[in-house]
């Protein structure tokens, strides 16, 4: 007999937040709807009608985005969209058009507000005016030109989240070159794996960085890096730990200091090189946890249109707003946050640990900088929740309009915590997308309510569906997330993948011509979206698919549990074995230990009560820590493969992990599980 399903709060009808009429009327989305009515004669009853149109009439929709945001075009386009005979790879947008991303940022320059605000563990809140930003970008752009950087050349950086990184990117883009970056906490071998294949001409490097109060010197590591990059002709060193730092000598490429570069006198005011719409803007990299990272290459025009749409319409970033997203330069959310400048916002940067000296450091920054849009990974918000962070009864965060969450699914209790402990009238924007499109597939909408545990909508222009095992769209059922139509910010190609073999293998192997993203999702009757975790790490119990986020939601709500990870192993005879790994609060443990029944019973009971008996693991281990990628995602699939007997070296690159030693526990468990359970 099937167990009785008890509706969760997220399945009931009470929203946590609803926009009032004033909020709706002042939103960019409402202005866009009004513009469509006046300029195009198009009337839509609600957001979902608008979404239907945006995903069925792609040409008119993306043309409307182009026109509504008044895109600066140097050479006019011939066609809005040119689709290949089959599939999505090779779709061309606004053919013949030439433009520049940075030019659209600097059209917002003003003396009324700063361009950047920034703070670090080493320095208090400071500002950079638009005139200062323009002057620095002009000098760095002139330096790049004088050193032979031309449109299409690659410029790379190993920099923390500091203004110099923004300046270097804007200068690179202004001359038509291609940007790529890694954060300094990446291992040298991992950076080489990313940068060597793209053959950069200029490298921006740092002498070191600070994290959690600790100074980490990078001079030797980055000297090794430049030796491993034979195409680099110039290395620009930025003194950070030591203001009097002098660049190390190099026999092959001449090193130069950042301050010297800023002394470069431009021969003319800051200019912007027009490039074709499909010209590469940057190369982003997949996590590389299970192999060589994929060099995902996006277009200038595609990212421009997508970011204007996503930041302005879906998060309602308006001129004069202050936008912050806690990120490193190695995560696509850094690129996404820089895009807030397109909307006329002031970008707020922070370099350092989010939990040092305490859990309030980012919230204090938000208060001090009068942040309107505060974003972070879901893991950070959950860490604040578990630490008991609360502003109830305080007058903090008066300027805060949105709280953004991404990186992993934010469970219902995370939603509740935001409204109960941070700010009751804030708009929680949970979004999911990825490096693959440098944006979101699903996200926020200022016209719609927020329901606990649910993402508000599928974003405009993104024809997203949930497929069952027969490749048919389903509602209110767990399904495979797919994208049925191309988007402008999908990769133009992977670098060094001339026949698109890696590109096809990444997204188009399961369904011909349809993008499979690799997430389990549910589209509800009210057209919100719930994400349950990666489909390649899906739990399968007796043929029923279970999203890992459901397990984490129940387990990590228990007061004794600090963190958790679950996988499902395939056994001989069609059986499955599901171990759960938990980190207990205030219970130091240096090796995996099976929990005694008294400790395990509340965990089992929570899963059985909140979900179903199928959610109850076969065994629960206490472990010292859960492995995470540098960008903050739980390492589910590599752990699963290790436990099934795969070589750790083949399935997990330690340079891509925040805490690579955490894998040791699972490596030690692998032999025991293999002999006891006869794992395939």
Domains detected in the chain = 99-532 (3.40.50.12780), 539-678 (3.30.300.30)
Instruction: Say what the pTM is.
Output: 0.87
Q: Residue 1 has what pLDDT?
A: 29
Q: Residue 426 has what pLDDT?
A: 97
- Asked whether 28 and 430 are in contact (CB, 8 A), the reply is no
Q: What is the pLDDT of residues 631-664, one digit of tens each?
A: 788 999 889 888 888 888 878 888 888 899 999 9
- Rounded to whole angstroms, the Cα distance separating 441 from 63 reads 19
Per-residue tokens: 181 = 């970056």
Encode 368-403 in three state secondary structure: HCCCCEEEEEHHHHHHHHHCCCCCCCCCCCCCCCEE
Q: Residue 545 has what pLDDT?
A: 67
- Asked whether 167 and 129 are in contact (CB, 8 A), the reply is no
- Closest by CA to 678, choosing from 566, 577, 545, 568, is 577
- Rounded to whole angstroms, the Cα distance separating 144 from 153 reads 10
Read off the DSSP letter of residue 247.
Answer: P
Q: Residue 10 has what pLDDT?
A: 44
Q: Residue 4 has what pLDDT?
A: 39
- Closest by CA to 433, choosing from 296, 550, 332, is 332
Q: What is the DSSP string of 566-598?
A: E--EEBGGG-EE-EEEEEETT---SS-EEPPHH
With a cut of 70, list the residues of the chain below it in pLDDT. Answer: 1-12, 249-253, 288-291, 538, 540-545, 572-574, 674-680
Per-residue tokens: 493 = 């190609």
Q: What is the pLDDT of residues 439-482, one digit of tens each?
A: 999 999 999 999 999 999 999 999 999 998 889 999 998 899 99
Q: Residue 247 has what pLDDT?
A: 79
Q: How far is CA 116 from the centre of its chain?
A: 21
Q: Residue 288 has what pLDDT?
A: 63
Q: Residue 12 has what pLDDT?
A: 55
Q: CB 440: neighbour CB atoms within 10 A?
A: 24
Which residues does 552 contact at the CB level (< 8 Å), separation at least 6? 411, 564, 566
Q: Residue 675 has what pLDDT?
A: 58
Helix/strand/coil for 343: helix
- Asked whether 598 and 631 are in contact (CB, 8 A), the reply is no
Q: Please name the helix (run of DSSP H) or strand (run of DSSP E) that holds residue 40, with its range, or none.
A: helix 28-40
């Amino acid at each position: 007999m099937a167990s009785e399903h008890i509706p969760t709060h997220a399945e009931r009808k009470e929203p946590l937040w609803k926009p009032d009429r004033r909020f709706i009327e002042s939103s960019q989305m409402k202005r866009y709807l009004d513009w469509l009515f006046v300029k195009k004669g198009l009337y839509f009853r609600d957001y979902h009608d608008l979404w239907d149109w945006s995903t069925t009439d792609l040409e008119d929709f993306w043309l409307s985005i182009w026109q509504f945001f008044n895109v600066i075009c140097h050479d006019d386009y011939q066609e809005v969209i040119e689709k290949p005979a089959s599939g999505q790879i090779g779709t061309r947008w606004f053919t013949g058009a030439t433009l520049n991303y940075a030019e659209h940022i600097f059209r917002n320059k003003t003396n009324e507000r700063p361009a950047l605000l920034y703070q670090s563990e080493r320095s208090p809140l400071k500002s950079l005016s638009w005139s200062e930003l323009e002057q620095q970008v002009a000098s760095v752009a002139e330096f790049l030109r004088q050193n032979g950087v031309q449109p299409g050349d690659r410029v790379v950086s190993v920099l923390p989240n500091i203004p110099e990184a923004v300046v270097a990117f804007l200068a690179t883009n202004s001359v038509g070159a291609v940007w790529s970056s890694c954060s300094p906490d990446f291992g040298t071998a991992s950076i080489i794996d990313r940068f060597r294949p793209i053959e950069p001409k200029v490298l921006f490097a740092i002498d070191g960085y600070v994290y959690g109060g600790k100074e980490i010197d990078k001079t030797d590591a980055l000297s090794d890096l430049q030796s491993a990059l034979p195409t680099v002709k110039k290395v620009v060193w930025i003194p950070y730990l030591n203001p009097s730092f002098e660049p190390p000598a190099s026999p092959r490429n001449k090193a130069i200091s950042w301050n010297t570069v800023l002394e470069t006198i431009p021969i003319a005011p800051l200019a912007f090189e027009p490039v074709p719409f499909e010209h590469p803007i940057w190369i982003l990299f997949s996590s590389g946890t299970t192999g060589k990272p994929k060099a995902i290459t996006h277009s200038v025009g595609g990212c421009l249109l997508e970011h204007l749409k996503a930041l302005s319409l879906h998060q309602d970033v308006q001129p004069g707003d202050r936008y912050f997203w806690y990120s490193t330069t190695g995560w696509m959310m850094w690129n996404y946050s820089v895009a807030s400048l397109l909307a006329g916002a002031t970008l707020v940067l922070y370099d350092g640990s989010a939990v040092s000296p305490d859990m309030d450091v980012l919230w204090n920054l938000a208060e001090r900088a009068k942040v309107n849009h505060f974003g972070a990974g879901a893991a950070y918000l959950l860490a604040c929740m578990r630490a008991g962070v609360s502003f109830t009864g305080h007058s903090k965060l008066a300027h805060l309009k949105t709280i953004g969450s991404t990186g992993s699914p934010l469970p219902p209790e995370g939603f509740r915590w935001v409204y109960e402990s941070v700010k009751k009238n804030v708009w929680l924007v949970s979004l999911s997308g990825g490096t693959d499109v440098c944006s979101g597939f699903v996200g926020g909408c200022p016209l719609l309510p927020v329901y606990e545990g649910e993402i508000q909508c599928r974003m405009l222009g993104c024809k997203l569906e949930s497929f069952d095992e027969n490749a048919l769209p389903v509602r209110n059922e767990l399904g495979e997330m797919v994208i049925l139509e191309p988007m402008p910010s999908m990769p133009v190609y992977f670098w060094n993948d001339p026949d698109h073999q890696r590109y096809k293998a990444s997204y188009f192997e399961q369904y011909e011509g349809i993008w499979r993203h690799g997430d389990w999702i549910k589209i509800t009757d009210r057209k919100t979206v719930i994400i349950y975790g990666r489909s390649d790490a899906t739990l399968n119990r007796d043929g029923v698919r279970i999203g890992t986020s459901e397990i984490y939601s129940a387990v990590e709500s228990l007061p004794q549990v600090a963190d958790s990870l679950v996988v499902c192993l395939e056994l001989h005879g069609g059986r499955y074995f599901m171990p759960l790994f938990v980190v207990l609060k205030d219970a130091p443990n240096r090796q995996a230990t099976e929990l005694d029944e008294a400790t395990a019973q509340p965990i089992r009971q929570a899963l059985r009560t909140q979900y179903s008996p199928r959610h109850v693991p076969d065994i629960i281990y206490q472990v010292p820590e859960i492995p995470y990628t540098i960008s903050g995602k739980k390492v589910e699939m590599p752990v699963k493969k290790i436990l099934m007997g795969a070589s750790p070296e083949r399935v997990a690159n330690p340079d891509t992990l925040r805490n690579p030693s955490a894998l040791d526990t699972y490596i030690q468990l692998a032999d025991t599980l293999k002999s006891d359970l006869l794992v395939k």
